[in-house]
Amino acid sequence: EVQVVESGGGLVQPGGSLRLSCAASGFTFSHYAMHWVRQAPGKGLEYVSTISTNGDTTYYANSVKGRFAISRDNSKNTLYLQMGSLRAEDMAVYYCARDSRYCSGNTCYGGYGMDVWGQGTTVTVSS
């Protein structure tokens, strides 16, 4: 079964740090870009970050740039999000999602989008 499972959420004080993980299974992890998306309580979806298949290229939402770092370990089929200088507005459910396109070498196939999502992990920022 193709799936991604997030972990690492929890309670952290303002200004603190936290690392989220996303374990992938059922597909060749190294052939897919990966994303993080978050959703604050009662709010809509917010794009957070993207990492390319080999980890060389990363993108961030303006709201997290300079504070969050996305990374991946293809040998462990795991995606990470290192979060620092956390603020109350970072409190959310964080979802890991697979990019829809299959990439082999410099060629990618299929349409854009996020086609496999995890169940989310909750980050609470509070003193």
Partner 1 sequence: AIQMTQSPSSLSASVGDRVTITCRASQDIRNDLGWYQQKPGKAPKLLIYAASSLQSGAPSRFSGSGSGTDFTLTISSLQPEDFATYYCLQDYNYPWTFGQGTKVEIK
Question: Site for partner 1 (CB under 8 A): which residue of 69, 71, 115, 122?
Answer: 115
State both tokens at 68.
């969050």
User: Does residue 34 bind partner 1 (CB under 8 A)?
Assistant: no
Q: Which is nearer to partner 1, 11 or 45 (CB)?
A: 45
93-115 as b/e: b if 16+ CB within 10 A: bbbbbbbbbebeeeebeeeeebe
One-letter amino acid of 60: Y
Q: Cβ of residue 13: shortest distance to partner 1, in angstroms? A: 27
Six token digits for residue 50: 């993207």
Among 12, 22, 24, 37, binds partner 1 (CB under 8 A): 37
Q: Which of residues 75-114 bind partner 1 (CB under 8 A)?
A: 95, 100, 111-114
What's the closest the beta carbon of residue 127 comes to partner 1, in angstroms?
27
CB 52 within 8 Å of CB 106? no
Nearest CA-CA partner of 123 in 83, 63, 96, 78: 83
> Footprint of partner 1 on this chain (CB under 8 A)?
35, 37, 44-47, 50, 59-62, 95, 100, 111-115, 117-120
